[in-house]
Structure 1
Amino acid sequence: MAFRLRVLMRPLVSASQSQMRASIHVPVSARVVHKAVSIQSRHLSSADSPPYEEFNVQSTEDFNERVINSKIPTVVDFHASWCKPCHALAPRLHEVLSERPGLVQLAKVDVDKHTDLAMDYDVSSIPKVVMVKEGKVAGQFVGLMDKDKIESFIDRLTT
């Protein structure tokens, strides 16, 4: 009888424990961060890797090596983590560049970490996108653009 009672009580204890866990208040900001991290994790999985090279610039030397000395044109996205238009532009760039595999690469430059590069490229507003081709600036735009304008920008400078 004692064994039977313990077996019957176990699901009740488990149910009450899960109700207690569910009633714990999680701040909205923590839920938003958790959701952003899970989305970012999905974005960075190998199955979702873009058909073009995308990298975060680590230093001025890294920029010179991977952007200036690159044999293929490079779209340089000057952005900041706090910039809402930058966050809105990123998926548009990703979509347009995904449709052009092997034609361009994407370098992401955080202006808060690399102020020297931002000054070198006269970044006074963000997002700013610069196309570097054969070591020189071939074109640029500032602000949030529609997908069709980004497409024409890329196509004009890669042909």
Structure 2
Amino acid sequence: MGLAAPNIVTLTDANFKEEVLSAQLPVLVDFWAVWCGPCRMIAPLVDELAEEYKGRIKVAKLNVDEYQGLAAEYGIMSIPTLLLFKNGEVVSRLIGYQTKDKLVQVLEKHL
């Protein structure tokens, strides 16, 4: 774990605004940490969604240990937390492990 799939953006303080807030597409952001078991469980699902929704949504990951300021700014209290941004605004928040069906349902609602 650590390296994201090729079509997943690794977020930092430097690129968050451009990659998420200014994005033309909806952006699914996975807030995670290396030590988080449920984060490791959901990671393959997030990778699959990045592939299946390529061109329709952008998928990104933010390591909460490395970027605590951004995690705090978005009220991330537990991980994994998946936030769906649309036009720079959070339109959906999923906390904890989710099934792929649930993730697809949320994405489809906002496409």
* Alignment TM-score > 0.5, same fold: yes
Distance 2:48 2:12 in 1: 24
Which structure carries more strand by proportion?
A: 2
Aligned to 1:80: 33
Unaligned runs of 5+ in 2: none
Task: Give per-residue Cα distances to partners, 1:74-129, cap 9 Å, x unaligned.
Answer: 00100000001001101011112322221111111000010010011100000000
| 8 Å CA contact retained: 2:81, 2:96 | yes
The alignment-based identity, stated in percent, is: 31
Matched to 1:89, the amino acid is I
Matching residue within 84, 87, 98 for 1:131: 84
Name 2:75's counterpart in structure 1. 122
Q: How far apart, in 1, do the equivalents of 2:39 and 2:55 lie? A: 24
Match of 2:12 among 58, 71, 76: 58
Structure with more of its chain in helix, by fraction? 1
Q: Tell me the secondary structure at the aligned position of residue 145 of structure 1.
A: coil
Indicate the residue corresponding to 2:21 in structure 1.
Answer: 68
How many residues of Structure 1 are paired with residues of Structure 2 in the alignment? 111
Q: CA RMSD in A?
A: 1.8
How far apart in 2 are the matches of 1:152 and 1:97?
A: 15
**Unmatched 5+ residue regions in structure 1?**
1-35
The residue aligned with 1:156 is: 109
Higher relative contact order (CA 8 A, sep 6+): 2
CA distance in structure 2 between the partners assigned to 1:109 and 1:86 by the alignment = 11
TM-score, reference length from structure 2: 0.91
Query: What residue in structure 2 maps to residue 104 of structure 1?
Result: 57
TM-score (norm 1): 0.65
Q: Secondary structure at the match of 2:12?
A: coil
Moved over 6 A (4+): none
Q: Which amino acid aligns with 1:114?
A: Y
